[in-house]
Structure 1
Amino acid sequence: MSAVALALLVVATVLGGLAVRRVEVGRVPRSRVLVGVRGDRRRGTVTAVVLVVLVAAAAGAAWAGDPATPWLRSTVALAAVAAAGLGGGPVVTAVLAAADPGRAVASVGKPPGTGPGAAGGLAGGAAGVADPDVLRGGAWIGVLERLALTATLLLGWPEGVPVVLAVKGLGRFAELKETPAAERFIIGTLTSVLWAGACAGVAVLAAR
């Protein structure tokens, strides 16, 4: 059953990687306006749900199976780290959108004076945590964060978790003065930690 868990983690990694690639390919120059559509949001939610189900099924398979061989344990651990890094992005995005449903459709590439801290904020209202222009670059920071968190947990060094979070917080310190940025930081970080812990848990169950 550990082989099944490995296969499910690989599928989660590939699905998460495709979601990240779709986001990157779909980016437009900041001089243009990018407007999220209802279909994109629904597809992102479905992707997040599928990823959660895949990891949950992997955990169940690892728990129900016999202890894995050393080679299989190492492979499952590597797959768990990869699934945590790439698979967590759509999940975090879906949670942010669910936390701020009224502003999940936001504009990117706004002219000066219409940013999160400006009067009027985004077109149609002030910026919210679902605005992708709040804490830009968070997607790749999140990937690195989840990779580091899962690796520290699997290496038996839980003390590394606060170190990783502290580094992230220091890097974002100047931007966290704005309320939407602080809320996005907290929600995104907690979701990333939970996702990394879930992926690490699959590897721990496979190795028990």
Structure 2
Amino acid sequence: MTVVVLVVTGVGLVLAGFAWWPRSGSPFQGALSAAMLAALATVGGLLLFRPEGTADWSWNARAWLILVAGALAVVGGGPLTTSVLALVDRGSLATQQAGEILRGGALIGALERGAVFAALVSGWPEGVAITLAIKGLARYPELSDPDRADPDKPDPRAARAVAERFIIGTFTSVLWAAGCAGLLLR
């Protein structure tokens, strides 16, 4: 059963890698994100019911699961967050402009997911609060005055759209990383 868990987690990681290639928010990226979620849910189900062969993992198998689940947390959260934000952005110029104001989101999100995963797996949940506090403080200028971040595109709805996009993206990213960490905390 250990091999099945590792293989399905690895398949989720491969799907996550492929999900970066299509254009952001495309239906293909959404389908890959859904398949990646299904792989994570399958592994979670396998580990939740502790079938024979997963109760006493060797250190080597557990180390591989930590490595693969950590990579899935970092790599998989980007396309998933992009897919969720694409659903939010449909037909709204203000939220699309908000995406331009909040630059660097992919890299910041990857670092955030890595920090959340590491904090939870290491048994230090306070690290999640510290990570989110640092992210909020770093993004404060764009959140408090989006016109200052992009003065060429002032829009009265932009301030609310920037905050909504920040919150939705952060929640999606953190929940994904926590779900991947949850595989190890069964």
TM-score range, shorter chain: 0.7 to 0.9
Q: What displacement does 1:130 show?
A: 8.2
Could you tell me the TM-score, scaled by structure 2's length?
A: 0.82
State the percentage of identical aligned residues. Answer: 42
Cα 1:131/1:53, change in 2 over 3 Å: farther
The gaps in structure 2 that reach 5 residues or longer are: 145-158
Q: Which residue of structure 1 aligns with residue 3 of structure 2? A: 3
Q: What displacement does 1:156 show?
A: 0.4
Equivalent of residue 30 in structure 2, options 45, 56, 59? 45
Moved more, 153-162 or 75-84: 75-84
Q: What displacement does 1:7 show?
A: 1.4
Q: Which residue of structure 2 aligns with residue 204 of structure 1? A: 185
Q: Aligned residue pairs: how many?
A: 168
Moved more, 57-66 or 172-181: 57-66
Structure 1 residues 121-140: aligned runs within 5 Å: 126-128=93-95, 132-140=99-107
Q: Give the ranges of 4+ consecutive aligned residues of structure 1 lying more than 6 Å apart after TM superposition.
A: none
Cα 1:191/1:92, change in 2 over 3 Å: same
Q: What displacement does 1:45 show?
A: 1.2
Residues in 1 aligned to 2:86 and 2:97: alpha-carbon distance in whole angstroms: 5
What is the CA deviation profile of residues 5-63 of structure 1, one whole-angstrom value per residue up to 9, with x for unaligned ones? 2212222222222333x26xx7xxxxxxxxx7xxx621121111111101001111223
The gaps in structure 1 that reach 5 residues or longer are: 27-35, 104-125
Equivalent of residue 183 in structure 1, options 141, 145, 164? 164
Q: What displacement does 1:90 show?
A: 1.2
**SS of structure 2 residue aligned to 1:102:** coil
Q: Which residue of structure 1 aligns with residue 18 of structure 2? A: 18
Structure 1 residue 102 corresponds to structure 2 residue 91: yes
Q: Which residue of structure 1 aligns with residue 123 of structure 2? A: 156
Q: Which residue of structure 2 aligns with residue 166 of structure 1? A: 133
Cα 1:19/1:131, change in 2 over 3 Å: farther
What is the CA deviation profile of residues 178-203 of structure 1, one whole-angstrom value per residue up to 9, with x for unaligned ones? 22211111001111111111101112
Counterpart code for 1:183:
E
Counterpart code for 2:11:
V
Equivalent of residue 74 in structure 1, options 63, 83, 101? 63
Cα 1:150/1:129, change in 2 over 3 Å: farther
Could you tell me the TM-score, scaled by structure 1's length?
A: 0.74
Cα 1:131/1:54, change in 2 over 3 Å: farther
Residues in 2 aligned to 1:130 and 1:96: alpha-carbon distance in whole angstroms: 12
**SS of structure 1 residue aligned to 2:100:** coil
